[in-house]
Amino acid sequence: MSKTRVLTKLKYLCTIIIDYAKETYNIENWPEVLDNDLTQVEDIERSIVSHEHTISSHEMLLCNKIYKKYNTLTKGVPYE
């Protein structure tokens, strides 16, 4: 998978998490687990951009798990 495609998917995942948080919680009272999930995705994104790092299979699995956790607002419509 190309670097651009991976970064696009990571941005989309960040958007899903933020949209979920906005719909579910007061923005000043996000649960720590939600904040940690967002931070993990942003860290993966940052390492790809800064260090020419390729996404590992462990990171892909983590992102898939996070996606399934927060993708309730889009009702399971996959990213195209």
Domain range annotation of the chain: 3-70
pTM for this one? 0.83
| Percentage with pLDDT > 90 across the chain | 56
Q: What is the pLDDT of residue 80?
A: 41
Select the more confidently predicted residue: 42 or 29: 42
Q: Token pair of 43, please?
A: 């860290």
Contact 7, 45 (CB under 8 A): yes
Q: How far apart are CA 25 and CA 47, in angstroms?
A: 29
N-term to C-term CA, the chain: 14
Q: What is the pLDDT of residue 27?
A: 73
